[in-house]
A = this chain, B = another copy of it.
């Protein structure tokens, strides 16, 4: 059988990885796929760089549309990124009857509904394992491996940059700014790290997982997104003393009235496996009603780990494109006509309706009655306290200090209630600085 012909749009870090791994492992991949998989055309604005990667014998163009127009191309890999030209090209490739493989989480989290609908109408596959958690086959696990389950929640470390920064902050007791600079120097953070450190990248990814887990459309615009830029070394240290680690988690959860979709720093019990995921590694915990808790761990970024996911999608298409398009694996795990929103059943919850527990740090005057005032306000609001840690003033502010830190862990509380109590506590004259609030997830 003749090899599958693949056109590659964009040959940067990931594209080079795809090309190199396909070359290096071509014999094993052919034995698995039942036929060869060959990149025969590459499009990149930098033709010279592209040519340097692929060598001779492969057509290199600077116009992506030349690939889409080529009737011999079976699959188009989109590695351009972003929402603009990438969206147009993916839709054009679908319209031309090509299967599409993409690593573009931003594109799918925002325009997934349009793209998947176009693909279904045309009977082609759009595969995106590389869009979430790099080389970890988490999309496959959710969409195929756990189909028996009513998924209850997913919580993942799905951004390597921020996990690297948090690991270094904890390890070395350094503050965010210092570690960010080190991460940039080492190549773990980009020159403009906004998408990573503000949680946007993680929100794109958890949006995709949420859709697949619960059978709802992608709804990135409704995600709650909070990054790690305001975390201090002190909170990481206090969390540790209370038996927790702080991780940036992407969380999606089935609640009574809808689905939670949120990204924010979270305290996680130090004894959980996911709390021990360090450096730039990724891990995702999935809780299903039948299987219980499962965890998936590996490299979430990088040239060859991401290429591993892109190529797995190519092999999937080679193996499965002949299956009845009406029944083969749906893009979002559920048949398109059964997505829950179409039935008005599973709205995304606003953050004020989320129920979780909290870590609060209050910088307070070191005088009698402060703790009673603060805990009184919590009690009035019906917020139940799990643990309190009050530091010696000398330890916090140095010899003779008149200020200290009061740390409170709460039991489950509605976020809206917590917002109101925090405002009340903030108004107390003995509370001397903005209150730090970090959510806490037991993940059990």
Contacts and interface: CB of A to CB of B under 8 A. Distances in A.
Interface in A126-142: 129, 135-137, 140-141
Given A311-B147, A327-B35, A299 B291 contact: yes
A294 interface: yes
Given A312-B144, A320-B328, A28 B215 contact: yes
Contacts of A327: 1, 33-35, 318-319, 322
Of A140, A290, A304, A318, most B-chain CB atoms within 10 Å: A290
Contact of A294 (B22, B24, B129, B297): B297
A290 B21 contact: yes
B135 A294 contact: yes
Contacts of A335: 31-32, 34
Contacts of A290: 17, 21, 25, 135, 304-305, 307-308, 311
Interface string A256-293: 00000000000000000100110000000000111111
Interface string A412-441: 000000000000000000000000000000
Interface in A8-52: 17, 21-22, 24-25, 28-29, 31-35
Contacts of A444: none
10 contacts: A21-B290, A29-B147, A33-B327, A135-B290, A137-B144, A137-B146, A141-B145, A148-B307, A149-B308, A273-B276
B298 A297 contact: no
Contacts of A135: 288, 290-292, 294
Interface residues of A, number: 68
Contacts of A326: 34
A179 interface: no
B148 A316 contact: no
A373 interface: no
A329 interface: yes
A176 interface: no
Given A137-B141, A137-B146, A140-B145, A304 B319 contact: no
A417 to B, nearest CB: 32
A79 to B, nearest CB: 15
